[in-house]
Chain A
Amino acid sequence: MGAAGSKLEKALGDSFPEGERYFGLENFGNTCYCNSVLQALYFCVPFRDQLLDYYANNKSLGDEDNLLACLADLFTQISSQKKKTGVIAPKRFVQRLKKQNELFRSYMHQDAHEFLNFLLNEIVDTLEKEAQAAKNDQETSSPAEKTANGPKNAHANGGPKEQLDTWVHKNFQGILTNETRCLRCETVTARDETFFDLSLDIEQNSSITSCLKNFSSTETLNAEDKFFCDKCCSLQEAQKRMKIKKPPQILVIHLKRFKYIEQLGRYKKLSYRVVFPLELKLSNTVEDADSEYSLFAVVVHVGSGPNHGHYVSLVKSHNHWLFFDDENVEMIDESAVQTFFGSAQEYSSNTDHGYILFYERLGNGHMS
């Protein structure tokens, strides 16, 4: 391990970024799904910074036993290492994860996308609970005012999630608008929904741009699938499309590579070649300006089937691309990213396929 670390240091030489740490993560038996996502999140710098701040501001976290605390502890451990490279065992985090969720307790292969989703939602829950507790503390400390209204307000605030904008929301949350236009009265009904990632259907020999276009393309609701129009007060044929109302700061794109095949009664991995550019723009937005993104991490699924396999990740840090495979960290050339697009032939020796893509918004898209 030490040798591998020094090899990476040698490869980077003088261009080893100041203050940066590149640590592999030990695998505790089928925890590569977890390791690959943790690396991608660690190199999501705004998220990492928030987490390190959170840790620094909550000194008592050592005793706290939730996933957020464990993750903050892990990231702090990595960033405060004396050595620049090496291996760390995310033991506390994995133990807590398995304890917390039945799904992740088994030694079965796990899905990296499910894990990412679960983790972000857990962090949000914890942050919201803490904010609520802090608020309650405040309210109980000033009992003179509106004591009667206290619980009621608290309840109202706890309800709709957009009331509390945590730093997870600020980084990952985007808003989709679901526009439905009644074909009889032409009324357009818009419904907003929030997302932490976009799950895209994929096609053979396509691009992320094309998958995003299909995601936002117009769909006709007819036959058994008619739309209830409030204005017509009846089921009507309608056209539906999804637009991105608020592009997220960190755009996470999940490629639906695992598809349930009814005839087989099981999931099948789609090894389709789906190319993803290092730079991307979202043009299917409500806003006029095209929001621009840069790719900084890719979680890669290795293997031909959904039930076995391996996860690794590619990470861009300070303009270098790194390859994280559990304990191992290597430098790779930018051009190597294209070897993870997938295969144009169904049966191919290439089984390393980009699965979750992390893009960071560039330019004027600052967090409010």
Chain B
Amino acid sequence: MINSANGMASGQGASSSSSAGAGAGTGANAPSPGLKTYFKTPEGRYKLHYEKGHPSGLMHYVQGKTVTQATLAHLKDRPSPPTPPAQSSSGFSASSGVRSAAARLLGGSNGSRALSFVGGNGGSKSISASSRLGSMGVSSSSNSTSTSNFDGRGTYLIFNMGDGLFISDLNSQDKEPMKAIYFNNVYPVCHAFDQDAKEGHDLVIGLSTGDVYSVSLRQQLQDSGKKLIGAQHYNKDGSVNGSRCTCIAWVPGGDGAFVVAHVDGNLYVYEKSKDGAGDSSFPAIKDQTQFSVAHARYSKSNPIARWHICQGSINSMVFSTDGAYLAAVGRDGYLRVFDYSKEQLICGGKSYYGALLCCAWSMDGKYILAGGEDDLVQVWSMEERKVVAWGEGHNSWVSGVAFDSYWSPPNADDTGESVMYRFGSVGQDTQLLLWDLELDEIVVPLRRPPGGSPTFSTGSQSAHWDSTPPVGILQPAPSMRDVPKLSPLVAHRVHTEPLSGLIFTQESVLTVCREGHTKVWMRPGVAESQASNVETVLSTSLKDKPPSTKVNYSGQAMTGTNGGFFHGSRIFGH
């Protein structure tokens, strides 16, 4: 396993199978001897900092019922000390839904919070509670003296597993979550946090029954119980749509609007300022194959609109950073991009084959990543309205993709006219892959021969400008030879279970597995200021690359351009 630790479980033969089996045999909570605790990139080592998990006593029967998703929530104005700790947290939870009170009580002293944890968790959890106290003490004291020194301290990891929703303090090393909310035989399956919520609820949760809740995250943290408190309940008992929720998202700058996608291909728009009491009704969908939008007849009810997007499940959806566009992927294998305010389908296209499972926008809104059952990471260009690259490197379905918006190219002056992006992907092969994407507006770099100078193809690319498909037209699946290929910069087996999510933060990369475990990988120079030798990394990376990835079936391919990292050679001529 040493040799393949930086790469994928290698191609053929009994040895790789048995080693993979040995690695998988270890319990999810036990340390995994087959897995390395770091991986190398040109900019240095990413080190495993710590792991987050669900409570160890969680029943195993719930395993496989749900797939863990993770959300990061950054609470900006943390408790400012000191307010008399007179009000107990239980008293607070009784005053449900009083938002002004919530805002005031956020100032509730750390003392009362600590008490509520100890009281709520009882003796068995006292050890973890006390260590948590320690980390909180640090954060609160630094908060009282200097708010600018407070960065990252109020970041929480929210994740679902079975019938529980769990909240961990991201900056605490505690493995067990600080808060568990149980839904009793129904499963929370998706959640989203509104970073920009000025008032009211900021956390929305979608359930396996189709039900949706909105709550205040802070209010949950201040309560000691194991139930959701102060919640607004929408689509109660699936009265509007009884199919499983798949994905939920706040509309950026949407003034408290959020959207919920369902397994039946419908998406609903809610507004948190409206009551959930009055349920909306919508006309029957005339043509299941066509995109259609219906608005609620009464302005006071929720949801306010239904979008019928596709036949079969909507597996994921993401808003562009500015909220102008919504990208959705689903069972039918199509990526669809909508102009959100115009409620219009702009463009989209089919996967190579199979369902798409995840998608993500670049910060500048120019590219969308999508991954799914063809094991490929596709890069979709909004300008060209087509797939401009396929990332080949996963050995199973791609379940999470994300651009690393904190990454900047090592030597920006060298890149000239082109734009560079760093992105990551995780898959059911338990691997994290990192990719560099260099996209010049006109030139697509070909995969370089070893040691040779880069060759470029021009001409045909610019011709595509004229053939940009009209609005609302979905592209068919491209053929294998027509799409340039990318090779990963890094392939690292990070968990023993298939992965479900990936989040980049300023300090770290978070990988999330289906069974509720999150690993926090510190960026180079964050965990320790250890100088990394790029030359060593290069040679290691080349050596560790398994032979199976070197076969390239189609002609065009591009590298991740970063300082001569070469990962592919064609063995058979074309």
Contacts and interface: CB of A to CB of B under 8 A. Distances in A.
Interface of A: 179, 181, 201-207, 209-210, 213-214, 216-219, 239, 241, 259, 270, 272-273, 275, 277-281, 283-284, 288-290, 292, 334-335, 339, 344-347, 349-350
Contact of A205 (B14, B24, B28, B548): B24
Interface string B10-29: 01101011001101110110
A239 B20 contact: no
A307 to B, nearest CB: 19
Nearest to A338: B64
What range describes how many residues of B lie at the interface? 35 or more
Contact of B572 (A202, A209, A218, A339): A218
Given A272-B24, A279-B353, A281-B480, 10 more contacts: A204-B9, A205-B395, A210-B394, A210-B395, A214-B11, A214-B548, A275-B373, A277-B397, A283-B553, A335-B263
Given A217-B11, A275-B397, A284-B553, A203 B547 contact: no
B396 A205 contact: yes
A339 B64 contact: yes
A207 to B, nearest CB: 4
Given A207-B396, A273-B498, A214 B12 contact: yes
B25 A217 contact: no
Given A207-B396, A218-B572, A273-B428, A279 B354 contact: yes
Contacts of B16: 203
Contacts of A204: 9, 17, 20-21, 23-24
B64 A350 contact: yes
7 contacts: A207-B396, A209-B375, A210-B429, A272-B17, A288-B479, A344-B24, A350-B64
Interface string B366-390: 0000000111000000000000000
A181 B24 contact: no
Interface string B543-574: 00001101101100000000000000001100
B288 to A, nearest CB: 12
B393 to A, nearest CB: 10
Contact of B496 (A202, A216, A344): A344
Contacts of A334: 312
Contacts of B25: 345-347
Contacts of A218: 547, 550-551, 571-572
Contacts of A207: 373, 375, 395-397, 428-429
A279 B350 CA distance: 12
Contact of A272 (B21, B548, B550, B551): B21
Q: Which 4 A-B pairs have the closest CB atoms?
A: A277-B354, A204-B20, A277-B373, A210-B395
A233 B373 CA distance: 46
Contacts of B263: 335
B513 to A, nearest CB: 9
B373 A181 contact: no
Nearest to A274: B396
A201 B17 CA distance: 9
B268 interface: no
Contacts of B436: none
B4 to A, nearest CB: 11
A277 B353 contact: yes
Interface in B478-499: 479-481, 496-498
Contacts of B28: 345
A279 B354 CA distance: 5
Nearest to B28: A345
Central interface residue in B16, B27, B312, B397, by most chain A CB within 10 Å:
B397
B140 interface: no
Interface in B378-414: 394-397
Contact of A206 (B353, B395, B547, B572): B395
Contact of B480 (A206, A241, A283): A283
A89 B60 CA distance: 40
Given A217-B12, A288-B481, A203 B24 contact: no
A349 B313 CA distance: 28
A344 B17 contact: no
A241 B570 CA distance: 13
A210 B17 contact: no
Contacts of A346: 21, 24-25
A232 to B, nearest CB: 19
B498 A280 contact: no
A319 to B, nearest CB: 10
A270 B16 CA distance: 13
Interface in B60-78: 60, 64
Nearest to A341: B428
A214 B429 CA distance: 14
Contacts of B551: 213, 216-218, 241
B548 A290 contact: no
B519 to A, nearest CB: 16
Nearest to B312: A334
Contacts of A344: 24, 430, 496-498
B41 to A, nearest CB: 23
A347 B60 CA distance: 13
A189 to B, nearest CB: 13
B428 A279 contact: no
Contacts of A213: 548, 551
B375 to A, nearest CB: 5
A218 B551 CA distance: 7
Contacts of B355: 277-278
Interface in B1-56: 9, 11-12, 14, 16-17, 20-21, 23-25, 27-28
B396 A206 contact: yes
B356 to A, nearest CB: 11
B352 interface: yes
B555 to A, nearest CB: 11
A271 B445 CA distance: 42
A206 B429 contact: yes
Contacts of B375: 207, 209-210
Contact of B396 (A210, A279, A292): A210
Nearest to B554: A283
B349 interface: no
Nearest to A260: B14
A241 B11 CA distance: 13
B24 A345 contact: yes
A325 B307 CA distance: 39
Central interface residue in B25, B395, B551, by most chain A CB within 10 Å:
B395
Central interface residue in A216, A217, A339, by most chain B CB within 10 Å:
A217
Nearest to B9: A203
A279 B374 CA distance: 9
A205 to B, nearest CB: 5
A217 B27 CA distance: 32
Interface string B414-441: 0000000000000011100000000000
B333 interface: yes
Interface string B129-155: 000000000000000000000000000
A292 to B, nearest CB: 7
B12 A205 contact: no
Given A277-B355, A277-B374, A344-B497, A270 B397 contact: no
Nearest to B392: A213
Nearest to A344: B497
A203 B353 contact: no
Nearest to B553: A283
A310 to B, nearest CB: 20
A289 B12 contact: no
Contacts of B430: 205, 344
Nearest to A346: B25
Contacts of B498: 205, 273, 344
A69 B9 CA distance: 47
Given A277-B353, A290-B480, A344-B497, A205 B21 contact: no
A345 B30 CA distance: 13
A130 to B, nearest CB: 39
Contact of A281 (B9, B313, B353): B353
